[in-house]
Amino acid sequence: MIARRLDHRKNLLWIAALVHRLSGLALAIFLPLHFLTLGLAINGEARLEGFLRWADQPLVKVSESALVFLLLVHMLGGLRVLVIENLDWRDGQKQLATVAAGISAIVAFIFLARVL
Partner 1 sequence: MTVRLYIWQRGTAALMLPLVLVHVAVIFYATRKGMTAADILARTRGSVVWASFYGVFVCAAAIHASIGLRNVLTEWSPLQDRGAGWCAIVFGLVLLMLGLRAVFAVVLA
Partner 2 sequence: MSDPQAELTVALWRGAAQGRYETYRVPRRASQTVLDVVTYVQRHLDPTLSYRFACRVGMCGSCAMTVNGRPRWTCRTHVSNVAENGRLQIGPLENLPVIKDLATDMRAFFEKWQQAKGTFAPSRTRHDAIEQIKPDSPARIAADAAIECINCGICYAACDTVRWSSDYLGPAALNRAWSLVSDERDSGNRARLAAVAASGGCHACHSHQSCQEHCPQLLNPTASIAGLKRRTVAAYLKGELKP
C-beta separation of 101 from 72 below 8 A? no
> Which residues would be at the binding site for partner 2 (CB under 8 A)?
1-2, 4-9, 11, 13-14, 17, 21, 81, 84-86, 89, 93
Binding flag, residue 52, partner 1 (CB under 8 A): yes
Q: Which of 12, 82, 99, 103 is close enough to bind partner 1 by CB under 8 A?
A: 82
Give the amino acid at 54.
Answer: W
- Taking the least distance from each CB to partner 2, the nearer of 56 and 85 is 85
Q: Cβ of 14: how many Cβ atoms within 10 Å? A: 12
Taking alpha carbons only, the member of 26, 31, 8 closest to residue 73 is 26
Helix (H) or strand (E) holding 57: none
Candidates 7, 85, 88, 91: give the one binding partner 1 (CB under 8 A). 85
Contact pattern from residue 2 through residue 41 relative to partner 1, giving x for each residue in contact according to CB under 8 A and a dash for the rest: -------------------x--xx-xx--xx-xxx-xxxx
Is the sign of the CA dihedral 41, 60, 106, 110 positive or negative? positive
Nearest to 51 by CA among 67, 39, 66: 39
Report which DSSP code applies to 97: H
Question: Which positions lie near partner 1, rule CB under 8 A?
Answer: 21, 24-25, 27-28, 31-32, 34-36, 38-46, 48-49, 51-52, 64, 68, 71-72, 75, 78-79, 82, 85, 107, 111, 114-115
